[in-house]
Chains A and B, each alone.
Chain A
Amino acid sequence: MTALISGTALHHAYGPTPALRGVDIEIGAGEVVAVTGPSGCGKSTLLHCLAGILKVDAGEVRYRDQDIALWSEAARSRLRRTDFGMLFQFGQLVPELTAGENVALPLLLGGAPRKQARATAASWLERFGVAELADKLPGTLSGGQQQRVAVARAMVTEPQVLFADEPTGALDALAGERVLTAIVGVARERGMAVVLVTHDSQIAAYADREVALRDGVVDASGLGLRMSA
């Protein structure tokens, strides 16, 4: 499979502390890949580097054959708005905007007319079963509802790659399963690649493939969470 997005010899450090020490990873179009490993192994840093949130200290991040690590912050932001979707453990919704406004936000930032953006947002909210919450503020929603709104926001631009960092970490088992099923369902339907960071073997089981990290490098033993579970 041709890689849609890949990282080659990725290095990143927080001050004197290395987080990634030469990671290689490839993700194909429509592939769901779980990045697993113990706490502090560099999973989230890898996701942030691939999504262009963090700049790598060394190495290449190629998306559609372009090294996005060389792009400006603004260009990487635009890429995240158009081609990438982002999902975090806590929805990271804007607390002062309603659920509908939150979902419409990436479209509005891209210059879409308000009416059109709201309509698209409403259809995605409906898709994830939270249409009736469009006018509610995130603070009034449950954790599961907030996360489904966040998934709708991540999907609203119909991204090519969805980056999800522990997307069910703050949810109970049932709510987590609903969110994961929704994510993977849309990914399969639209041929969207998903990079799923998790330390939970049950969640990693939703993925086509698992990349295990240990101390900032890919664990060559191949003993990921699914193997060890």
Chain B
Amino acid sequence: MRAGTLVRLALAGTRTDHLRTTLTAASSALAALALLAAATVLAIKGGADVIGPDGSYSRTAGAERYSSPYLHEAGLRPGVAAVFVVLSLLVLVLAGQCIRLGAPARDRRLAAIRLAGATPRQAVLIASAETVTAAVLGSVAGLGVYLLLRVLLDRRTKEGLLLLPTDLLPPALTIIGLLLVVPVLAGLAGAFLLRRVVISPLGVTRRTRSRGPLPWPGALIAIGFVLFQVPGWVGLGIGGNGWAAMLAVGGVVCVLGVVLGTGWITYTTGRLLRRFGARPAMLLAGKRLIADPWSGSRTLAALLASVVVGAAALGVRAGFVAQFDAYETMDGVSAGADEGFYLGGVDLFLIAVAIGVVISTAGTLVALTEGIVARRRSYAALTAVGVPTATLAEAVLWQVLSPLVPALLVALATGVGAGQIYNMSDQAATVPVGALGLLGGGTLLMMLLAAGIGLLVLRSSTDLEELRAG
């Protein structure tokens, strides 16, 4: 198959397909923008601590032209870059969720192409090519926006300091590499989502596991906690590469534990609803949750990752507060500027988490809407036999919220636990219950909003005409 044919087949589609392509491209543009921002921060030179032969302390030059204190110190810039990388990953998850949008129509098209003689590999290639093409276009658009923002945001303070590092570019090879990373990751995500999909000439089916998920991901959370302790046990210097790597791996393992564990939570919630549910909506929701327990992991992955990271940041913040309180009690002097610097840094990080929650909720909304649209015939059939739309709406809400609440609690506990372990302070920090409640409650509220918007498509999906549609 020639490249032109591949692109033509990949981009052939209905309005929903074009919406999916547009959303994928937009997500890729945002991801590329965030990655370029991270690379720009890492391209800043100077600000490293140097101790002279006489024991005098100084900093290497180069970063003092920026107004933000978080760009001055070489040790802090990887943290700032990490925030952008995390944001880009969340946006990429959103792109992954966009891939499922309009899946039934695409599945029919792929089956028809298989019937015309496409091999299974060609069918997967066509499905992935759409995502990769959209991601390439998005990446290039992201570069365009980045270059435009460099000009628009090139501002200085009264002292002549730059507000942002708009005066430098990452190395050309880094830019090219980052622009390629986004389509490659999007393509891999697409192939990953298709791994259980069998595209045959007679239709598209999904291989399902007959066995329900097990609670083993809980062990991953424990392993993550252990990894957080390792730097202390083996004496890795705070701020060093080994220390940062261990914390990053520990964090990823904890997040994986929470996300994969949501499969078991979803399955168990479904079984409980089936067993103890007194209302038809609960029984319907329970059946759906048991039938596809990994839907929770898929749709809530980015949201739960944001909550884990946010709760960890709150745990770290509580540690800083305890430390500064201890200094004040000991010396009777306020930490002042230091306190503002460190707590301000964490607060900035929490703002990034809030943005992450919003992005993740958008992804969840896409997934929820797609799920309703994909099952519109089932909903129409239920309506045809007399199930009220209100019952179906209630079932959708149960389906979304019943696994979300326990998963949120696990995410909050994991995050704050990791944050407490990370604390370099030897002071016992109190658990920031109020802030955690705000994070959990805010996330829940966002999800309620997303579910509410998702329910708007339920009415059209229960139209009896759906049963007549070919």
**A: which residues have CB within 8 A of B?**
48, 53-54, 73-74, 77-78, 80-82, 86, 88, 90, 92-97, 101-102, 105-106, 108-111, 113-114, 153, 157
Given contacts A53-B202, A96-B12, A96-B14, contact A108 B119 (CB under 8 A): no
* Contact between chains at A111 and B2 (CB < 8 Å): yes
Q: Is there contact, CB below 8 Å, between B200 and A53?
A: yes
Specify the chain A residue showing the minimal Cβ separation from B110: A94
CA distance A180 to B13 in the complex (A): 31
Per the bound structure, the CA–CA distance linking A102 and B5 in Å amounts to 12
CB-nearest residue of chain B relative to A82?
Answer: B117
B109 pairs with A106, CB closer than 8 A: no
Given the interface pairs A96-B13, A97-B12, the reply to whether A106 lies near B120 with Cβ below 8 Å is: no
- Whether A96 lies near B109 (C-beta < 8 A) is yes
Interchain nearest-CB distance for B108 vs A (Å): 8
State which of B2, B14, B120 has its C-beta within 8 Å of the C-beta of A77: B120
Residues of B within 8 A of A102 (CB): 116
CA distance A156 to B266 in the complex (A): 50
Q: Which residues does chain A contribute within 8 Å of B1, judged by CB atoms? A: 108-111
Chain B 176-228 interface residues, beta-carbon cutoff 8 Å to A: 200-202
Report if B115 contacts A (CB, 8 A).
Answer: yes
Could you name 30 residue pairs across A and B whose Cβ atoms are closer than 8 Å?
Answer: A48-B202, A53-B200, A73-B119, A74-B121, A77-B114, A77-B118, A78-B117, A80-B117, A82-B117, A94-B12, A94-B116, A95-B108, A96-B17, A96-B109, A97-B9, A97-B12, A101-B8, A105-B113, A105-B117, A106-B116, A106-B117, A108-B1, A108-B2, A109-B5, A109-B113, A109-B116, A109-B117, A110-B117, A113-B2, A114-B5
Count, chain B residues at interface, CB 8 A: 27
The residues of B with any CB-CB pair to A shorter than 8 Å are 1-2, 4-5, 8-9, 12-14, 17, 108-109, 112-122, 200-202, 470
Could you tell me if A93 and B119 are in contact, using CB atoms closer than 8 angstroms? no
In the complex, A96 Cα to B15 Cα: how many Å? 11
Q: Which residues of A contact B202 (CB under 8 A)?
A: 48, 53-54
**Nearest chain B CB to A82 CB, angstrom units:** 8
Residues of B within 8 A of A86 (CB): 115, 201
In the bound assembly, the distance between CA atoms of A53 and B116 in angstroms comes to 12
Residues of B within 8 A of A73 (CB): 119-120
Pick the contact of B112 from A48, A53, A94 — CB < 8 Å? A94
Besides the contacts A81-B117, A86-B115, A105-B117, what 9 more A-B pairs have beta carbons closer than 8 Å? A74-B119, A77-B114, A78-B117, A94-B12, A96-B17, A97-B12, A108-B5, A109-B113, A109-B118
In the complex, which residues of chain B have a beta carbon less than 8 angstroms from the beta carbon of A54?
Answer: 202
Complex Cα–Cα for A153 and B116 (A): 8
The 10 closest A-B pairs by CB, nearest first: A81-B117, A96-B12, A77-B119, A74-B119, A108-B5, A105-B116, A106-B117, A94-B112, A109-B118, A53-B201
A114, B2: Cβ atoms under 8 Å?
A: yes
Closest residue to A48 on the B side, CB-wise?
B202
- A105 and B9 CA atoms in complex are apart in Å by 9
Smallest distance from the beta carbon of A228 to chain B beta carbons, Å? 30
* Cα(A78)–Cα(B122), bound, Å: 11
Q: Determine whether the beta carbon of B4 is less than 8 Å from that of A114.
A: yes
A101 to B115, CA, bound (A): 14
In the complex, which residue of chain B has the Cβ closest to the Cβ of A54? B202
Complex Cα distance, B109 from A106, in Å, reads 14
